[in-house]
Amino acid sequence: MKKLGLMVCTNSSIDYLDFDFDVKVIRSMVIMGDKEYIDYEELTAPEFYEMLDKFPNIVPRTSMASTGTMLEAYEKLRDQGCDTILFITISSKMSGIYDNAVMASRMVEGVDVRVFDSKSVGYIESKMVFKAHEGYVAGKSIDEIIKDLEFIRDNNKIYFAVNDLKFLIKNGRLSNAAGFMANMLKIKPLLEIDKNGAVVSIEKIRTFGKAVDRVIEKFMEETVGLDVEAFIIHANNPETVKYIREKVLTQRPELGEIKDYLLTPAVAAHSGQGAITIGYILKK
């Protein structure tokens, strides 16, 4: 492998992180009412959350990049001298981006394209990008790099709570029937991303505050005796970020720093304002 071209989808929220190497970001469109915006480039997270506050009756939607867009990105990286391309995508259970990426990879010539299903979203995707770059710099082969990504994919967990299920329901990210009943009962379920990369409800909880506490409890139960990188992901909810961080570190000071990461509009369109996650990645 002479030169590796790295790609990731916009759902990684990588735009809000600091790094010093080239990554091609394939962006989704965020649809607010009758207007469309390119995620991050035309609508950043702070702007998006401000719009949600200003127009509470709008339920945002998203549309993914086309196969043609992905094919053009592959061809451009090939023409820049990349003999191998690694595209890390949001879970194939949450979006058709993975399928489009695979289809485009079959159309391009003259370059080895590997499409990797993260089976997750947000920071997990970004972590995989950083790990892939680290492996490339260290001289690893593409197969060795993918093995490193498989370890991350198979050894992480995300639990989260949302304050309003309508975003997940209307965007098809949670069962409509189960979601409708939960809304009727004012339930704020405990959600997780399962091993297949799907968003599932695992417990029914009456209030958002209790759901947040249960998210913390599940994290604490799962990580006993493990050496993990802990992280928080949120949709404009700094107060709850502070609450979770303080509560976790009071009980587990050995975890050290727990960083928090903002959700980009293309993801927050499905979670809604205030959604919050605590997750972990097992260290080797």
pLDDT at position 187, please? 77
How confident is the model over 158-183, as pLDDT tens digits? 999 988 776 666 655 554 445 545 55
Among residues 117, 114, 24, the alpha carbon closest in space to that of 72 is found at: 24
User: Is the confidence at residue 35, as pLDDT, over 70?
Assistant: yes
The strand pairing partners of 281, in sequence order, are 156, 229
How confident is the model over 48-102, as pLDDT tens digits? 999 999 998 888 999 999 999 999 999 999 999 999 999 999 999 999 999 999 9
Pairing verdict, β 24-26 and 4-9: parallel
CB distance 3 to 21 below 8 Å: no
Domain with CATH 3.30.1180.10 in the chain: 156-282
Q: Give domain 156-282's CATH architecture.
A: 2-Layer Sandwich (3.30)
Amino acid code (one letter) for 253? P
226 against 175, higher pLDDT: 226
How confident is the model over 117-168, as pLDDT tens digits? 999 999 999 999 999 999 999 999 999 999 999 999 999 999 999 887 766 6
Q: What is the CATH number of domain 4-28+64-154?
A: 3.40.50.10170
How confident is the model over 105-116, as pLDDT tens digits? 999 999 999 999
Domain with CATH 3.40.50.10170 in the chain: 4-28+64-154
d(CA 174, CA 146): 29
pLDDT at position 176, please? 42
Q: For a pLDDT cut of 70, what percent of the chain falls above it?
A: 92
CB distance 161 to 212 below 8 Å: yes
pLDDT at position 42, please? 98
pLDDT at position 167, please? 67
pLDDT at position 183, please? 58
pLDDT at position 177, please? 45
pLDDT, averaged across the chain: 92
Q: Take residue 143 and report the two structure tokens written for it.
A: 């197969």
d(CA 190, CA 274): 14
Among residues 171, 162, 193, the alpha carbon closest in space to that of 60 is found at: 171
The strand pairing partners of 191, in sequence order, are 160, 201
d(CA 70, CA 49): 28
174 against 19, higher pLDDT: 19
